[in-house]
Amino acid sequence: MAEGKAALVTGGAGFIGSHLVDCLIENEYQVSVVDNLSSGKLRNVNPDATFYHQDITQASLQEIFQRENPDIVFHLAAQISVTESSRDPLKDGETNVIGTLRLLEASRRSGVEKFIYSSTGGALYGDPLVNPCSEEASVDPLSPYGMSKFLGEKYVELYYRLHQVNYTVLRYGNVYGPRQDPHGEAGVIAIFSQAMCEGRQPQIYGTGDQERDFVFVEDVVRANMLAIEEGDRTIYNIGTGKGTSINELYQELCQITSYKWDAERMPARPGEVYKIHLTSDKAFSELGWVPEVGLAEGLEKTIEFFRRVISNTTG
């Protein structure tokens, strides 16, 4: 139990963040959410959380910290589109680097006990020579997004060296599940799921042989919860260790949804990694974390969510 501890979640109206907020409240944390709603949805926010419509790049962030006095900060707010980061690297850097720096500074001033930073395994290592790749693999981003998340990690480490702000960094695979936004490019499973459920033709960019490590959102939330007490000053991959190609994923979803048509083939996108999956042996040995939801089960849960949403909107 949390014994009345306070947690602040940036991006808590978003996909992963809102699931984390629900879990924290179930575990009796006092939760505040900071989100500018650029991609998050107000309807995702647990009514028992205190919500602040606030951008993390703004100086007024410090006032929220003074009011809420959080013990733990979970930093999930980010610009997450690889394509958008290539189109506008300055905006990407402002959100992912300057925003993280503002949060770290507010955390330092407020005496936060721990800063848990959501990073990317999928975009940080580039195209690794060995898959699944460990935390020791070379960092070699292929996009401004991957670089900005890595710079955020380095600031997190620096704030411990300079100011003793304790931290854990979690590098996620491709997270999927209920509430993921199907608009944009960040969640291929969400995009495919909604299109198939609505009878529209999904698009596959490039050959479709690209491989990703798809990890279910509930497993990612569990990693965050374990990091509250464990994994101080350490970086962990959070993935399944298995690669699934976009073509394989498409066929799996066709089976679940009874979708019978081929995808529309589109040109490959710049900055996209070809094959990446992550070994999470370190998270298992030090956090006690293993992925518990397999891809087939996770896809069923995701499709069920999208069917419910579509049914509710069409009446």
CB 11 within 8 A of CB 35: yes
Question: Given this structure, which CATH class describes domain 6-173+217-240+278-291?
Answer: alpha beta
Predicted confidence band of residue 2 (pLDDT cuts 50, 70, 90): low
pLDDT digits (tens, 9 = 90+) for 167-213: 999 999 999 999 998 875 568 999 999 999 999 999 999 999 999 99
Nearest to 16 by CA among 43, 36, 40: 40
Taking the C-alpha atoms of residue 158 and residue 133, their distance in angstroms, rounded to an integer, is 25
Checking if the pLDDT of 29 tops 80, the result is yes
CB 215 within 8 A of CB 243: no
From residue 9, give the alpha-carbon distance in Å to each of 90, 125, 176, 220. 24, 26, 19, 14
pLDDT reported for residue 289: 98
What percent of the chain shows pLDDT beyond 70?
97
Residue 288 burial (C-beta neighbours within 10 Å; 0-12, 13-18, 19+): exposed
Predicted confidence band of residue 73 (pLDDT cuts 50, 70, 90): very high
pLDDT reported for residue 311: 82
**167 is annotated as an active-site residue:** no
CB 303 within 8 A of CB 256: yes
Residues in the chain: 315
The amino acid sitting at 3 is E
Provide the whole-model pTM.
Answer: 0.95
DSSP states along 173-189: -EEE-TT---SSSS-HH
Q: Of 29, 52, 125, 145, which one is the catalytic site residue?
A: 145
pLDDT digits (tens, 9 = 90+) for 115-131: 999 999 989 999 999 99
CB 118 within 8 A of CB 172: yes
* Upstream peptide bond of 178 is cis (omega within 30 degrees of 0): no
